[in-house]
Structure 1
Amino acid sequence: MLGFLQAASQSVSLADSSWIGCPKVDECKAEGGMSVVPPDSLSQHLEGLKLFGNKDQVEAEEEIFKSLNMVLQAVTGDQQLSGKLLQASGIFTTLGQILTSHPRCAVPVTQVLAELAKNEELKQPCIDAGLITTLLPLLKSSDQDLLLHAGRAIGRICYGNNALKLQLVEADVQSALVELLQKAQDNPELEAIGILKTISDLVISLLLGDESMQKLFANGTGLIYQKISNWLMSQNAQLQLTGALAVANFARNDNNCVKMVQLGIVHQLLDVLEKHVEEGDVTVQHAALSALRNLAIPVINKVQMLEEGVAERIQMLLRSEMPPVQFKLLGTLRMLLDGQVEAAEILGQDPALLNRLVQWCEAKEHAGVQGEANRLLASLLRHSKSQEVVRAIQEARGMKHLVSMTTSEHAIMQNEALIALAIASAVNLEIIKDAFKESQLVSNLQKLLEDEMTSPEVKYKSLGLLCSLLGSGDLRKQVEEAKIQDTLENLCNHSNANVVKQAIAALQILKSDTQDSGLFFP
């Protein structure tokens, strides 16, 4: 184990580290819930800490406790003002000295550090003062409060500092964290006071840095990865969450994704999801779906995951009534189907899936779910290019939602809708023309074409879809009644050459007597 942790820390009992004669922080709040510490008073206490922090006498500890209590009130109150004073005071080195020379003061010092590390501007002074080196041995402490605050302080100081995370991993801090997670799992009291979550958060924080994450993965042989299976299979929701988040972060790298699928992590994630289908933990479901989505990014993984029945197994979550789960489920399915013709054809004819998608397309109170449901419908058409899928979506009354999607405020959704509708028109316009008439598709296209804010790409695809619609007598009549010819003539002077070319083609079709639309097939 690294030198940081080999320096055995003194075991400090909760009784020994009590705040002598000092009120708790929540008893020192001013009216309105804000701690009020005058700047002059804070400065005096910071100077007092410097004075007494270098002394070994036990008598100094009472003054240290009092000053730490005042500093804690300040940093939990006016963070901006207290932060400036703390930076100017150079107190950080002193706090490290107090940790090593006054172990009875360790709990309040770590609590102060955990609070001040919430301030972005105070993290670097903590690092410069070598406080991480001083804090790490405390992860071996048997004092629960000390362990809790030290873990929080380390996690907050390291957050966003990828170089420091790599140093910790190279120093093998993960071994201590894994040991703590095991202890916390076996001790409900440690979980109750937040130690399990604190250490779990620290593990995930280390995975947020690309280099530290790769070192921890070590091609599937790293300690953290080796423990994931145990965490996922445990009955503890926090450990399941840690395991799922770890997979999701390891899966930021495509090579890691391929390796993890080969090692069989997918079905372990699915097993976790099944445990939480009925009124389960939403955060665990969300994390597991995020992991599956990331794993499905490499094409080789899509094929293997689909062959192993992942798409069918995660559909158990279709009955979920939790919007975060619904949102992530839809995104995961869409990632799995990307470019997979056979899977899109199968799922695109699944009545249960389509009916649920149409239901979520109408979920106006949850815009994210509504948007993802529309995008998955469009994806089914785009990747299958199947008459049967067109018919199934039409029977589920899904076409009107794709028409509405053309008016989205997001250009990517407009494009996806236009492509899907163009494909549907090309493969089976006859069975969907009535749905297009009822949902005012022609009117939507006209607005897109006339709006100066519409991107050239969207205008081009709108014109292509318009050409397809002219193959239907009823829709051609709608186009003529809307006087879109004037709009097309104006677009012949557009600055984008592709738009001009497509506008000219649409005009020629519109002016011809035949209904040969020259189908636009993206």
Structure 2
Amino acid sequence: MESLNQHLECLKLFGDETEGQILESLNGILLALAENRQRSSSLLTDTGIFPTLAQILKGNPSCAVKAAQVIAEIAKNEEMKKPCIDAGLVLALVPLLESTDQEMLLHAGRAIGRICYENSDLQEQLVETGVITSLVRILTDYPDSEPLVHVNLLALCNLANLEIAKEALSKTKVTEHLVKQLRRAENHQRIETITEVLQLLAENDALKVQMVEAGVHEALSEILLRLQGSSQAEDMCSVKAASNLIVSLLLGDESMQKMFANGCGIIYQKVGTWLASNHPQLQLTGALAVANFARNDGNCVRMVQLGVVLQLLDLLEQHVDNGDVSVQHAALSALRNLAIPVANKVQMLEEGVAERIQMLLRSEMAPVQFKLLGTLRMLIDGQGRELLSTD
């Protein structure tokens, strides 16, 4: 600790020291932190070195990279975040994100991310300083830098839950860059990080549309195709994350219509395969996709013409006794929505849908029976009831 004291005293003379001496002292702090983080952190706090680090960031470009690295290491300790904030280190670090030095971007990004983690007030201040533009620029300029992409994705993950951040991101091309990263992702951690960012962004309707236009749903369907046969826990988590994001994109009216594309969209093209699969998550995704597409009457008519009703009934019959309740509910919601247009009621009754639904009433689960009866009621409402009475 004596050596650390000397380095700290040296740094306090910032302005009188040469760049070589400053760098030597900063390296000394890094070494001390690596040897004993807790004791070194306490000493750093006691000596009040943080304002000096801010001065170095602002006034000595040659030493700023090393100073940012020191701050990033210091900020690993939860109790060290407040001294960093009080010394104004975050605002001193933000301009460094405009650098073209990848090492600078990496250390500054890590430092800011660690200091601001789970601090919504500070995160909002960051967004107000224009940090979103910097993050998207880095993702654009350095898509092949694994460390920078990782830090950037974590930063977006921390900020994307803020409405002000979503608004700022909707004015960028971030979705295009995230799709590129999703397509090249080779491990489940990267897939889940990107889908988590996209899931947060999908809470914004404008971003939903941008995501569909950028092909997010296509990249997700590729992931499902690649991982659906895996029994590895991490792959199953990725399948669930991808499935959930597809459903989230379908919740927006405009994004849903773009994905349906009159029954020619990639997701609807996959629905039949998902409904007929043995994978409960894919079955659920398929049923929820139909239920959401069926919010539009034109889509309903088109899907009935394409034969989706019989696929849903086949799925329900698989699950009637001891099946997955969530799959049953999703399939029944889809059938109920499909039965809303009058033209569909007639066709569905002619195809014997009512009889098949009545057979499903042997299910012993009350919520499922309730939904089945609701679907039957919708089916026989109006013209459908007249047709049923003549049979």
- 1:214 is matched with 257
Contact 1:139/1:147 (8 A) holds in 2: yes
Shift of 1:273: 1.3
Alignment root-mean-square deviation, CA = 3.3
Alignment counterpart, residue 154 of structure 2, candidates 111, 132, 149: 111
Larger helix proportion of the pair: 2
Q: Report the TM-score when normalising by structure 1.
A: 0.54
Mapping of residues 247-326 of structure 1, within 5 Å: 247-322=290-365, 324-326=367-369
Contact 2:182/2:219 (8 A) holds in 1: yes
Question: Within 2, Cα distance between the matches of 1:171 and 1:192?
Answer: 24
- Consecutive unaligned residues in structure 2, runs of 5 or more: 1-71
- 1:246 is matched with 289
- 1:184 is matched with 227
Shift of 1:123: 0.7
- 2:195 is matched with 151
Q: Tell me the amino acid that sits aligned with residue 199 of structure 2.
A: G
Q: Tell me the amino acid that sits aligned with residue 333 of structure 1.
A: L
Contact 1:181/1:196 (8 A) holds in 2: yes
Question: Within 2, Cα distance between the matches of 1:267 and 1:22?
Answer: 61
Contact 2:75/2:81 (8 A) holds in 1: no
Q: What is the aligned residue count?
A: 315
- 1:507 is matched with none
Q: Tell me the amino acid that sits aligned with residue 184 of structure 1.
A: L
Q: Report the TM-score when normalising by structure 2.
A: 0.70
Mapping of residues 66-465 of structure 1, within 5 Å: 66-74=111-119, 79=120, 81-99=121-139, 100-101=141-142, 102-140=145-183, 141-161=185-205, 163-189=206-232, 192=235, 194-322=237-365, 324-339=367-382, 340-341=384-385
Paired residue secondary structure (2:232): helix
Question: Within 2, Cα distance between the matches of 1:97 and 1:197?
Answer: 30
Question: Within 1, Cα distance between the matches of 2:380 and 2:236?
Answer: 43
1:154–1:236 distance in 2 versus 1, CA, 3 Å: same
Greater radius of gyration (CA): 1
1:47–1:23 distance in 2 versus 1, CA, 3 Å: closer
Shift of 1:150: 1.2
Contact 2:84/2:115 (8 A) holds in 1: no
Q: Tell me the amino acid that sits aligned with residue 308 of structure 1.
A: E
Shift of 1:334: 1.5
Q: Deviations over 1:336-364 (max 9, x none)?
A: 121233576599xxxxxxxxxxxxxxxxx
Percent identity between matched residues is 48
Question: Within 2, Cα distance between the matches of 1:231 and 1:346?
Answer: 36
Q: Which deviates more from structure 2 when the two are superposed, residues 276-285 or residues 184-193?
A: 184-193
Q: Deviations over 1:202-242 (max 9, x none)?
A: 22233233333223222222221111111111111111111
1:106–1:206 distance in 2 versus 1, CA, 3 Å: same
Shift of 1:297: 0.4
Q: Which deviates more from structure 2 when the two are superposed, residues 206-215 or residues 48-57?
A: 48-57
Shift of 1:87: 2.8
Shift of 1:88: 2.4
Paired residue secondary structure (2:118): helix
1:111–1:277 distance in 2 versus 1, CA, 3 Å: farther
Paired residue secondary structure (2:161): coil
